[in-house]
Chain A
Amino acid sequence: MQEVTENKEFTPNIVAFCCNWCSYAGADLAGSSRMTYPANVKIIRVPCSCRVNPTFILKAYQQGADGVIICGCHPGDCHYVTGNYYTRRRIALLFSMLNYMGIEKERTRLEWVSAAEGQKFSAVMNDFVKTITELGENKRLTDLRVKEGE
């Protein structure tokens, strides 16, 4: 039993909020171009990165996510013209607040990925998973109810 726990590698739970028009298509392109990104990235499709309510991010953490990444169109390229400009302001404030509350700043990230950037999508996800794996399990934010055997 001891051996099993020791050999068990930590695979982080990553939640990625991807905007329907750019990043989600970018993920699609990454797939169809045979580029890889880790399977533990769970993508949640949202109409626009602006749809991501700060509660979503905190709720993801509470329910056991180890990292949350938000992907949207590049500023100026939003399908809804200005959506991601608002995202940028909101998320900047939220990140700063999470850091102020003493939550590891590496756990949350925002990246602009366009529909043509399959390569970037794959690279960003690989890098993010690597960062979170190094950072370890999300202990500060999880809801005790969703943990097994504790």
Chain B
Amino acid sequence: MKEVETKMLERAKELLESGEVARVVGWKKGEFCYDPSPATFESVEELKDFTYDWFCGANLSKYLIQISKKEGKTAVFLKPCDTYSFNQLVKEHRIKRENIHVIAVECRGKFDIEKIKAKGISFVTGAQLDGTQVKVSTLYGEETLEKSDVVLTKCATCNKDYQVQDEAIILHERTKKDVDRFAEVAKLEAMTEEERFAFWREQLSKCIRCNACRNVCPACSCVKCVFDNPASEISAKVNSDKFEEQLFHIIRAFHVAGRCTDCGECSRVCPQHIPLHLLNRKFIKDIDNFYGEYQAGETAEGKTPLTSYTEGDTEPNDVFKGEAK
């Protein structure tokens, strides 16, 4: 990962020095090794904080909505899953494509510090991939973990490929995973109604309504959100009743149905570790089932499933009967 970072840094310097781009969007070192945050670099001096490591899970696409409106070109580093979000935003005319220089960067899955901490490892000072294992260095020595145990939930089932790129910095090939991303959804579907209700009650009652899932979502890009409307009575950040979180999360997921690229940011940022991606994936699974396979963000053209129709679509009353095609 170090070589990739060096290459990225070199390229960023080159672009900034030559004046080809006015700014570079990437990741900045945080206080600890595991909390890099998205940042904009406007000069070579600022690049001293630039980083790209195993904890750079953040999706940079959404920042481009604002940044692409600025003067001058912007270079951005995008991982495979980010390129889908980028495409989707270009399709929705939220990003000015001509103002962006996309640099596809290598990604072999990112690590989740929470998962490492859950293994009882603290004071982490770094992590490196070693085959299928992860060597985590801490203040007290080194620990070895299985890679599958520490990657972000969104990375565990990711088989995405770069959808858009102006140039690429890829040193290692990605290995295709043999996993079904809908396995967890199918497991929930197989439960009884009561079990499902209990499951979601338990999960969603943890919600503190911090709105992080909404704010981070690249598909949630409305200037004025329905949840910011005081008249909607769902803007209050309190758990005033038992159905409010469900209402919030159903509507949040519904508003991105057909546009969600399954980038998994919602689950990554949730401070309460609610598996929010399971709601989005349910919509994706249903759309695939009812209206044919569709992957949002694969192209920057065409219509989304919810803005198109066919005359012989599934009837809503039939969706439970197993008659849906």
CB-based contact A109/B317 at 8 Å: yes
Answer whether A98 and B313 are a contact pair too, CB < 8 Å, given A93-B257, A93-B283, A141-B243.
Answer: no
Min CB distance B78 to A, Å, is: 29
- What is the predominant secondary structure among interface residues of chain A facing chain B? helix
Q: How far, in angstroms, from A142 to B254 measured CA to CA in the complex?
A: 20
CB-based contact B257/A142 at 8 Å: no
Is B141 engaged at the interface, CB distance under 8 Å to the other chain?
no
Min CB distance A63 to B, Å, is: 10
Could you give, for residues 30-74 of chain A, a 1 whenever the CB lies within 8 Å of some chain B CB and a 0 otherwise? 000000000000000000000000110011011000000000000
Could you give, for residues 87-110 of chain A, a 1 whenever the CB lies within 8 Å of some chain B CB and a 0 otherwise? 011111111111111111100011
A residues less than 8 Å from B316 (CB atoms): 88, 91-92, 94-95, 110
Chain B residue nearest to A90 in the complex (CB): B306
A residues less than 8 Å from B306 (CB atoms): 86, 89-90, 93
Answer whether A94 and B291 are a contact pair too, CB < 8 Å, given A55-B232, A110-B317.
Answer: no
CB-based contact A92/B315 at 8 Å: yes
CB-based contact A144/B241 at 8 Å: yes
Answer whether A92 and B313 are a contact pair too, CB < 8 Å, given A100-B189, A100-B282.
Answer: yes
Answer whether A94 and B199 are a contact pair too, CB < 8 Å, given A61-B243, A89-B306, A109-B317.
Answer: no
CB-based contact B200/A101 at 8 Å: yes
Answer whether A102 and B254 are a contact pair too, CB < 8 Å, given A89-B291, A141-B243.
Answer: no
CB-based contact A143/B241 at 8 Å: yes
Min CB distance A105 to B, Å, is: 5
Is B290 engaged at the interface, CB distance under 8 Å to the other chain?
yes
CB-based contact A102/B193 at 8 Å: yes
Min CB distance B317 to A, Å, is: 6
Min CB distance A126 to B, Å, is: 17
Is A130 engaged at the interface, CB distance under 8 Å to the other chain?
no
Query: Which bucket holds chain A's interface residue count?
Result: 35 or more
B residues less than 8 Å from A105 (CB atoms): 193, 320
CB-based contact A92/B314 at 8 Å: yes
Q: How far, in angstroms, from A99 to B313 measured CA to CA in the complex?
A: 19
Is B169 engaged at the interface, CB distance under 8 Å to the other chain?
no
B residues less than 8 Å from A91 (CB atoms): 316
Answer whether A88 and B313 are a contact pair too, CB < 8 Å, given A93-B286, A102-B193, A102-B199.
Answer: yes
Most chain A CB neighbours (cut-off 10 Å) among B232, B291, B319? B319
Is B167 engaged at the interface, CB distance under 8 Å to the other chain?
no
Q: How far, in angstroms, from A85 to B307 measured CA to CA in the complex?
A: 10
CB-based contact B319/A86 at 8 Å: no
Min CB distance A143 to B, Å, is: 5
Is B38 engaged at the interface, CB distance under 8 Å to the other chain?
no
Min CB distance A29 to B, Å, is: 23
CB-based contact B242/A54 at 8 Å: no
Chain A residue nearest to B283 in the complex (CB): A93
CB-based contact B254/A97 at 8 Å: yes
Chain A residue nearest to B199 in the complex (CB): A102
**In the complex, which of the residues A58, A100, A103, A104 contacts B251, with contact meaning CB atoms closer than 8 Å?**
A58
Is B157 engaged at the interface, CB distance under 8 Å to the other chain?
no
CB-based contact A62/B244 at 8 Å: yes
Min CB distance B289 to A, Å, is: 9
Is B197 engaged at the interface, CB distance under 8 Å to the other chain?
yes
Q: How far, in angstroms, from A64 to B246 measured CA to CA in the complex?
A: 15
Answer whether A54 and B254 are a contact pair too, CB < 8 Å, given A61-B243, A91-B316.
Answer: yes
Enumerate 27 A-B pairs (CB-CB under 8 Å) in ascending A order: A54-B250, A55-B232, A55-B247, A55-B251, A58-B243, A58-B250, A75-B311, A85-B311, A86-B307, A88-B309, A88-B316, A89-B290, A91-B316, A92-B286, A93-B286, A94-B254, A97-B282, A97-B286, A99-B319, A101-B246, A102-B196, A102-B199, A105-B320, A110-B315, A110-B317, A140-B197, A141-B246
